[in-house]
Structure 1
Amino acid sequence: MRAIILAAGMGLRLQQPEGGQFPKCLLQFDGMSLLERHLQMLEAVGVRDVVLALGFEPGQVEAELQRIGWPHPVEIVLNPRYDLGSVLTVHTVAPALTRGGDVLLMDADVLYDASILQALVAQPQANRLLLDRDFEAGDEPVKLCLKDGVPVELRKQLAAGLAYDTIGESVGFFRFRAQAARRFAEIVAGYVERDCAHMPHEEAVRDLLLERSQIFDVADVSGAPWIEIDFPNDVERARSEVLPLLQPVLQPLAGVFR
């Protein structure tokens, strides 16, 4: 199993001070960066094949990797047009999507409990989405809608009259089997060819779901603490509301592997 972590963006909505801006995966919580937490979680579930999709300030992320002392090779792929949408970042990691085996596609800017990643990798041979039914309504969450257990929508804005019986927020992680990952890469390539590289990669996931060429199951992680960090108030909520609820991380990786 391979994990592809998307960490190319500038995080402009965080309103970091000019000249002091850094990739969101370097945000620190309880003395550990989000990147270190990702690697700690992946190590715990046995995923050691990691691809980092970088763009903005890649040197800062590489320096953090050195500090952490991750003991396994990390493939770094650079998207020089990181100012465009995440579709283009996913397109730059197409070789990692298509070389075989299950793939975890993960947003880097998520603080989450170990149980969420465990749900993503729990069963072999599965395409999987994660659903949190306990979400705040609004324009920002990416909604995942189900009808009789089948995904029928994955979008921030829902069309009027959409028929569904379950709705929740999609956690920013997806699991693809090899065939689904290859098809996903083809859909992403189509976006780039049509000059739609500015789109969020969830649109390509949505296309994959709605064409019904692959079967996806859905793991309900409602009640598990997590937060995607986009705005300054998300950082505060992560520290005050989410972090205290997380299963403890035993120790920083730097302390384990050095």
Structure 2
Amino acid sequence: MQIKNIGGLLFVIALILSSGTAGAASAAPSEEPSDSSESQSAPEGFVQGGTTSDTQWIEIDETTANRIESGDIEAIEKYYNSNGDVDPSAVLSDFPTEANQLAYGSSSAQRSTPKNPDGCELLPVGSSHKDGPMYMHKRTGSNSTGNGYGTIGWKPVTKCKTTPKQIANENRFYRSSLGGWYPQADGKKGSTSSVKEYTQKDVKWSCQNLKREDWRGITVSTITASDNKSYAAKQTTNTINLPCGTK
């Protein structure tokens, strides 16, 4: 009888321990859900993003600034690598200024972030939202009219901490063909004076038909800073397939 009582007691203790283990398991926090912003699918036609997240400014001379503002984008293109980053050796060869040495010089103990005196940024394509900066898309509203097939374009946005004397944009559309990218057309120039923020809303190109093609664009912004020196930066749009063909 005594042995039976001991066996019953052990059975009760086992039940209690089993119940406590199950309760602890149910109270354990579940795995945190993943960030929904990372799991969202890209919009139809979206291929890839643009260039670097930080604006890489180059201090340039007045002659180069004038060439860019006259539409000669190649005047700045040679200072960038194919991945969109600045080529330090090319910059320092032509513009060995103090600002460029600090930003791109190999002798620097720690390179500074390439900036201009007014803290301006030419914002990169940061999301898939069509109204975001540097996002190539089929336009709507007042900018959507063209040859009856609509227009494509993007919005360059420059933000500064203090007010530069001038901000000027050069824009160019590129179309993919035979495995390469070729200039299709220059977008509308844009410029403004004595403002901290400039959003250009009229960069557009009129589609010639509805054939789907791969597109991307670049904006080169030149700043006449408060120190009277000239600085240039480039950003690239997303690459996207759109119903916008050429003749």
Task: Provide TM-score, normalisation by structure 1.
Answer: 0.22
Quick one: higher RCO (CA 8 Å, sep 6+), 1 or 2?
1
Going by fraction, where is helix more abundant, 1 or 2? 1
**Structure of larger gyration radius:** 2
Task: Provide TM-score, normalisation by structure 2.
Answer: 0.23
